[in-house]
Amino acid sequence: MNEIRVIGDAEVAAVGLGAMPLSIEGRPDEGRAIATIHAALDAGVTLIDTADSYHWHAGEEGHNELLVARALAAYGGDVSGVLVATKGGRGRPGDGSWTVNGDPRHLRRAAKGSLKRLGVDAIGLYQLHKPDPAVPFAESVGALRDLLDEGDIRMAGISNVDEDQIREAYDVLGGRLASVQNRFSPAVRDSAPELRLCDELGVAFLPWSPLGGISRSALDAEGPAARTPFHDVARERGVSPQRVALAWHLSLSDRVVPIPGSTRPESIRDSAAAASLTLTEEELTILGGV
């Protein structure tokens, strides 16, 4: 299996880190959060996904971006090859809800804020977090195009989109669409058409919540109803079902770069190891495709 994937003009390790759980409800203390990011880097992870809206309480905008920036600054090794992907266009007022704002003026301000919090000259990958039904999609993507042209971001992506929106964004960006980040997992495969389109266009596909439907407790549960085929393959291989799930993701296309979330060093180390797990054709048949 190819352990290196390409996003735009950047090479990254095949498995990234979704940093959201380190800042939202039930988040770990900062010491463990930073230890988790450092464990990811130690394991060879070179893509970290964040967003300005990944926080818990009101007034914490950018909590996750600041956390990622502090972790990278405190890491003892070379981080020059780490791609930090962030997103704009959503908000959290502090009551547990999520809002959406795709106004181009807001997106430009949001990108400037992310740029400052991450402490970089240009954001490696900036993504529209979610289409805003109150704003023409082309206008929201146009803000990303302008940010690209002005050098504030190196690459542009979109998230939570359908096939038509992918094609529209590709056109608005003049073929410079680097990534699509949609929900996709063993349990939720309804973004399969979007994955196939990304493969056709040469665009990276970043599944969020890639471990959906895979429970650790089910591995040792009694009775077949408690387990999935992923647990059965994991039992035969002597690895975690999460590792099998991520290896399955990677088998679907060389454009796939899953970004599992983690709040513990041991979890992200296990996830990163999926890049070196090659599933057999028989196993892939059991797990199903898209």
Please give the chain's pLDDT, 290 residues, in tens. Answer: 569 999 999 999 999 999 999 999 999 999 999 999 999 999 999 999 999 999 999 999 999 999 999 999 999 999 999 999 999 999 999 999 999 999 999 999 999 999 999 999 999 999 999 999 999 999 999 999 999 999 999 999 999 999 999 999 999 999 999 999 999 999 999 999 999 999 999 999 999 999 998 976 554 544 554 589 999 999 999 999 999 999 999 999 999 999 999 999 999 999 999 999 999 999 999 999 88
Please report where in the chains the tokens 């949609």 appear, as a residue. Answer: 182
Q: Is residue 49 part of a domain?
A: yes
Residue 234 lies in a domain: no
Give the per-residue pLDDT at 215: 76
Residues acting as catalytic residues: 54
Phi, psi of 90 (to 5 degrees): -130, 160
- Asked if residue 288 is part of any domain, the answer here is no
Position 96 scores a pLDDT of 92
Residue 59 domain boundaries: 4-214+254-276
Please report which helix (H) or strand (E) contains residue 91, including its range: strand 90-91
Angstrom distance (rounded) from CA 254 to CA 245: 15
- H/E segment holding residue 85: strand 83-88
64 lies in some domain: yes
Whether residue 272 is contained in a domain is answered as yes
Asked whether residue 50 is domain-assigned, the answer is yes
- Separation between Cα atoms, residue 223 and residue 60, nearest integer Å: 45
The structure's pTM equals 0.95
Predicted pLDDT of residue 216: 63
| Residue 283 covered by a domain | no
The pairing of strands 4-7 and 10-13 is antiparallel
Region for residue 280 given its phi and psi (left: phi exceeds 0; alpha: psi -120 to 50; beta: otherwise): beta
The pLDDT assigned to 225 comes to 46
Residue type, 152: D
Q: Number of folded domains in the chain?
A: 1
- CA dist 116 and 73 (Å) reads 14
User: How many angstroms separate the CA atoms of 47 and 44, rounded?
Assistant: 9
Domain annotation covers residue 241: no
What is the predicted pLDDT for the residue at 226?
A: 59
Q: For residue 12, give the CATH number of its domain.
A: 3.20.20.100
Q: Which two tokens stand for residue 24?
A: 């939202």
